[in-house]
Chain A
């Protein structure tokens, strides 16, 4: 009986398959031509002249590389702390309006990053609102906060912008924890901290690793926030690619920096994929629970 039922199915599947996978080729070829080929051209361009030795020897490049990595690491740490707190409250401390906040967080993900730098100029700039309010309180006309055009200002802006990227996967992971587990732990006398440490966080590590490595990748590649800051002291690799390539029109030099940056990013991205794969295989589809039931 089963043989009878399966027999018409099997050959059909076998004959359809070779034709079906050929359909992947047109879009794949388009992307190979428009993404991979340009990146390979960047690699080729970087080998014209002695641009590698020139760029690698310049202190501007080495400073920018170090600054890019430290700013990305600090921003990621900040976003992880802030995002974990926000996600825990959103998931486990129910209050009215939490769905609105969830929506707000989803929307902020799609907004341009330079918005944050622009807002920070008005809020925390030397003539900004917060400094004016502080001056009115203390009577001292000199601005108290003056961090906007330093790496700290960029880190503050990146933490602000990238925190939602941590909140999202964490909310997905948290929504898979049965409420009963928390209630049982609490009824057995566990304090909120113990519940958090022993029940909630073990489930959250994969999501935290995935969110953290994504934010590290995005902060390494961040351009708008740093460009809008416009300060000489906080040039990162992406901004250096722009100034080399467009402002001074040194394409081989820009290509060398871009190659270094692409290699760095791809290495990290591979790490992110591993973390994300671990998260989804352990927890089922990690992304499915992001949308809360209405």
Chain B
């Protein structure tokens, strides 16, 4: 409790409410409202309807959504497996190797995604590593970017894990594989669920690296949305963004459930 007078409290909360409204709620609400709007010339949107969502969920736009979902789930799954593997193995590694792993895995967070995309475009455009022009270069780009977050989420959770569980299992004669599958991974499950949710959400909204590498046959939803705004179809772009938000939130909630069930166990 910092403010004891009720006047000070009220003043602080009013300013807080205004900031939250302007910074967090207004942008989200605006995009959803613009997706619903037929036109928006006054202070409020007019001709509300679901027609734009019909367009956003059919034809080309639906295909982009499907591409985005496939990319996000494949990239998220690969990143989660690799990230968990690296985090678990780095825990047992000598100090210098752990620091090296940590630095290399965090590299995609530090450098701009456009540079990652440019690098992949240059490096994977020749035999024997020919991925340019296929869907795999998009999936690879997403995996690389999401991997950093998966690794960092799992290693943070691993650090908070009480080593006593693992030691107890080991002292009772459990093999390393058994300790991993019966003790460490179940304890990590909430963190893995949260990491998977974050991975899917970040991949769904990724633009910088995708725009550098995507082929015309594998257009993700953010790329399609950018194309719409570029052509001046901002209302349709808003409807597409609303669909993107809804699907992302659904994925976050669904994968967050893993966390809820594991906590009860």
Question: Which residues of A come within 8 Å of B, CB atoms?
Answer: 16-17, 20-21, 23-24, 26-28, 30-32, 34-39, 41-42, 45, 82, 85-86, 88-89, 92-95, 101, 104-105, 107-108, 110-116, 118-123, 127-130, 132-133, 136, 159-160, 163, 179, 182-183, 186, 192, 195-196, 200, 217, 220-221, 223-224, 227-228, 230, 237-239, 241-242, 245-246, 251, 254-255, 258, 261-262, 265-266, 268-269, 285, 287-288
Contact = CB atoms under 8 A, between A and B. Distances in A.
Contacts of A38: 116, 118-120, 122-124
A-B complex: 4 closest residue pairs judged by Cβ atoms: A38-B119, A112-B205, A119-B27, A269-B110
B222 A39 contact: no
Most chain B CB within 10 A, of A89, A133, A220, is at A89
Among A31, A120, A237, residue most surrounded by chain B Cβ atoms (within 10 Å): A31
B87 to A, nearest CB: 9
12 contacts: A27-B82, A31-B144, A93-B13, A111-B245, A114-B207, A120-B27, A129-B43, A159-B23, A182-B2, A238-B208, A261-B111, A265-B112
Interface centre among B120, B143, B202 (most CB of A within 10 A): B120
A107 B249 contact: yes
B71 interface: no
A122 B86 CA distance: 44
A276 to B, nearest CB: 11
Contact of A123 (B27, B93, B105, B121): B27
Contact of A265 (B25, B28, B110): B110
B89 A261 contact: no
Contact of B92 (A17, A27, A28, A242): A17
A241 B211 CA distance: 11
A41 B123 contact: yes
A195 B1 CA distance: 11
B115 interface: yes
A181 B94 CA distance: 41
A183 B3 CA distance: 10
A86 B16 contact: yes
Interface string B98-122: 0011001111111111111011111
A265 B113 CA distance: 11
A133 B42 CA distance: 7
Given A41-B123, A192-B8, A266 B238 contact: no
A36 B111 contact: no
B212 interface: yes
A163 B156 contact: no
A95 B13 contact: yes
A210 B12 CA distance: 26
A246 B211 contact: yes
B262 interface: no
A110 B202 contact: yes
Interface stretch (B49-57, B181-189, B223-231): B223-231
Contacts of A94: 1
A82 B112 contact: no
Contacts of B110: 217, 265-266, 268-269
B44 interface: yes
Contact of B123 (A37, A159, A230, A241): A37
B122 A136 contact: no
B217 interface: no
Contacts of A160: 23, 27
Contact of A223 (B23, B31, B33, B208): B208
A89 B10 CA distance: 11
A88 to B, nearest CB: 7
Contact of B16 (A23, A89, A129, A241): A89
Given A24-B90, A110-B252, A122 B119 contact: no
Contact of B226 (A95, A114, A183): A114
Contacts of B205: 110-115
B201 A110 contact: yes
B165 interface: no
Given A31-B104, A118-B241, A129-B40, A230 B119 contact: no
Nearest to B199: A110
B231 to A, nearest CB: 11
B69 to A, nearest CB: 15
Given A37-B123, A122-B34, 9 more contacts: A17-B92, A110-B197, A111-B205, A129-B30, A186-B4, A223-B112, A224-B208, A230-B230, A246-B212
